[in-house]
Structure 1
Amino acid sequence: MASCDVPLLGRISAGDGPTMGRRRQEGPSASMSPAFSLKESDDEFLAGARNRHVHVVDVPAPLSEVWAWLSADDALVSWSPLISGHRWTSPRPFGVGATRVVTLGHAVALTERFYRWDEQQRMSFSVESASIPGLRRFAEDLQLAATDSGTQLTWTFAVEGGRMLQPLLRAMDSVTKRITASIANGIVHRAGAPVGAGNE
């Protein structure tokens, strides 16, 4: 497992993906990928995962606009060069139980199910399946708060590997931190402002 994942993480962290002009919503290739089921994640996992990164981003845009970007058809792909595909698989309006498929670097497709959807406040999801083996649990939590200058976005990433992958995740924790920070910070580009964020 490790032999295939090290170069994969390296390509993603180096930005080896499509350019802004070529990024798109998910195409049919992801639907043909094999699916490896993950264990369901929850708030306890988000708070206590060993591989956990929290990024706090100040976005110079109204909260309602930031929420609209996060729930748009081109969410993620419109601001992160690391995300090569995004497709909602649930009809609007979205809520608890909504699903989507997100693809990283044309290499890893993740099927996500939202277990929390507090309109214009907070959204949390658990990854149900991945197109690569080795992941045990994977979840993200996004919280929004209005500020005098716009919106503060707190984005938490939590991942746990299986017996073979977990040592690799620990060893590459700094790489994972850069990858997740890039995704979280990228939304500021959509607002057309310089990027700046804190993180854990």
Structure 2
Amino acid sequence: MAHRLRPVGPDFTGTAPLRLVFTRGMSAPPEAVFRALAEDVSGWNEWFSAVTLARPSGDGTGREVRLRGGTRFQETVLVSEPPEVYAYRVDVTNAPGARALAEEWRLTPEGRGTRVRWTFAADGTAPFRVALKVGRPGLGRAFRDAVTALDRRLDPARA
């Protein structure tokens, strides 16, 4: 059953009760990575294996996302500052125990490529927070695999 979460702003990714932060380098430049994140929302399922559907909503101010396993999100884009930051919050989800969720993708030039930092910020019931902490290795693996797949997609010579 879907429920509405507490609306949070972009600062939540730095102040949330639970923050999971992952980083990885890519050979693609920040501009290309940003376009894939913010402008090609419908393409997320081609490189992020946990995503089964992603599409923009609200004239690009929101997103609808579905994950493998049935979790669904209605999101609002909080920050879209090319080519450095893309962030969004979850407004409605069927994930039990969630009270507030936001994610931030921060892109930093690194040589000819990009250093990607993904922050998953959350607040929720104690069981929800424990589940996220226990699931941290899996989220980290999903992030690493997604960034690797996106890098291959953006630079076919790496495939």
Q: Given the two structures, how large is their TM-score scaled by the length of structure 2?
A: 0.83
> Is 2:78–2:88's contact at 8 Å kept on the other side of the alignment?
yes
Determine if the alignment matches structure 1 residue 65 to structure 2 residue 25. Answer: no
Q: Which structure dedicates a bigger proportion of its chain to helix?
A: 2
> Is 1:54–1:155's contact at 8 Å kept on the other side of the alignment?
yes
Shift of 1:106: 4.2
* Aligned equivalent of 1:42, options 2, 5, 9: 9
Match of 1:17 in 2: none
- Structure 2 CA distance, aligned partners of 1:82 and 1:190? 13
The amino acid of 1:190's aligned partner reads: L
The amino acid of 1:192's aligned partner reads: R
Match of 1:182 in 2: 141
> Is 1:85–1:102's contact at 8 Å kept on the other side of the alignment?
yes
Deviations along 1:107-151, one digit per CA (max 9) or x if unpaired, are 111001012111211111111111344311000011111111401
- Larger radius of gyration, structure 1 or 2? 1
Q: CA 1:74–1:183 in structure 2 vs 1: closer, same or farther (change >3 Å)?
A: farther
The amino acid of 1:172's aligned partner reads: A
Match of 2:44 in 1: 76
Deviations along 1:49-70, one digit per CA (max 9) or x if unpaired, are 2221111110111111111211
Q: How does 1:1-200 map to 2 (within 5 A)?
A: 35-71=2-38, 72-91=40-59, 94=60, 98-161=61-124, 166-185=125-144, 186-192=146-152
SS at match of 1:40: coil
- After superposition, the CA RMSD in angstroms is 2.1
- Structure 1 CA distance, aligned partners of 2:4 and 2:63? 15
> Is 2:103–2:120's contact at 8 Å kept on the other side of the alignment?
yes
- Structure 2 CA distance, aligned partners of 1:53 and 1:75? 24
- Structure 2 CA distance, aligned partners of 1:132 and 1:172? 11
> Is 1:76–1:183's contact at 8 Å kept on the other side of the alignment?
no
Q: Given the two structures, how large is their TM-score scaled by the length of structure 1?
A: 0.68
Give aligned-pair identity as a percent.
21
Q: CA 1:155–1:75 in structure 2 vs 1: closer, same or farther (change >3 Å)?
A: farther
How many residues align? The count is 151
> Is 1:77–1:84's contact at 8 Å kept on the other side of the alignment?
yes
| Structure 2 unaligned residues grouped into runs of 5+ | 154-159
| Structure 1 unaligned residues grouped into runs of 5+ | 1-33, 194-200
Moved segments of 4+, more than 6 Å: none
